[in-house]
Amino acid sequence: MSRRSGNCLRCCLVIFAVISALCVCGPAIYYKFKKDLKLKGASTSCAPCVCNCAPPQSLLQIAPGLANLSLTDCGKDDPELKEEMEKQFVDLLSEELKLQETVKEEHSLHMNITFGEARRLASQYQKEAEKCNAATETCEGARERAVALITKEKKITSLWEKRARQLGWEGE
C-alpha cells in the first residue's frame, strides 16, 4: 500500500509542477503567439494618423526664469551671503574653531551635570542599600533568637510530657 501511495504522491507532484510551469510561462507564450498572429494577418501599410497635438514645449517655455540661473549669480543679491563669501579663509577657520570650542564646552557642561546627577543617585541608592542591610541584620538576629527560644521551649515541653507520662498521662 505504501508503494502505491508513493507513486500517487509522485504523480501529483509532477502534475503540480507542470501546472505551475504553465501558470508562470503561459501568459508570456500566449502574448508572443498573439503578437505573431497579428503581424502575419496585418497588412504592411496603414492609414495616416490624424493628430492635432500641440508641439512639445521646451524648458524655456515652461519655466523662463530657470535658464537665467548660473553659479556666478548665486547669492548676488543677498548682503549677508555676500559678506560671508568675502571673508578670508583664515577668518572662516578661526570662526569654525570657535564654534567647535563652544560645542565642546556645552557638551562638557552637559556631561558634568549628568555625572553629578548619577553620583547623587548612586549615593541615594547606597544609603537605601545600607538601610536594607541593617534591617536584614536586625531581622536575622531576631530570627536566630526566636529559633533558640523555640528550641528551648521544645526541650521544656518534652521534659514536661515525659514527666506527665510517668505519672500516668496517656496523651491525645
Distance CA 100, CA 94 (A): 10
| pLDDT tens by residue, 14-44 | 999 999 988 888 888 888 878 777 666 555 5
Q: In this structure, how many other beta carbons lie within 10 angstroms of the beta carbon of residue 156?
A: 10
The pLDDT of residue 26 is 83
The amino acid sitting at 68 is N
Q: Is the model's pTM score more than 0.75?
A: no
The pLDDT of residue 162 is 92
The pLDDT of residue 59 is 65
Measuring CA to CA, which residue among 19, 39, 41, 21 is closest to residue 31?
A: 39
C-alpha torsion sign, points 73, 76, 80, 85: positive
Question: SS3 sequence, the chain?
Answer: CHHHHHHHHHHHHHHHHHHHHHHHHHHHHHHHHHHHHHHHHCCCCCCCCCCCCCCCCCHHHHCHHHHHCCCCCCCCCCHHHHHHHHCCHHHHHHHHHHHHHHHHHHHHHHHHHHHHHHHHHHHHHHHHHHHHHHHHHHHHHHHHHHHHHHHHHHHHHHHHHHHHHHCCCCCC
The pLDDT of residue 88 is 75
The pLDDT of residue 15 is 93
Distance CA 117, CA 133 (A): 24
The pLDDT of residue 119 is 95
The pLDDT of residue 82 is 73
Please identify every stretch of the chain with a pLDDT value under 50, giving residue numbers as ranges: none
The pLDDT of residue 92 is 81
The pLDDT of residue 171 is 72
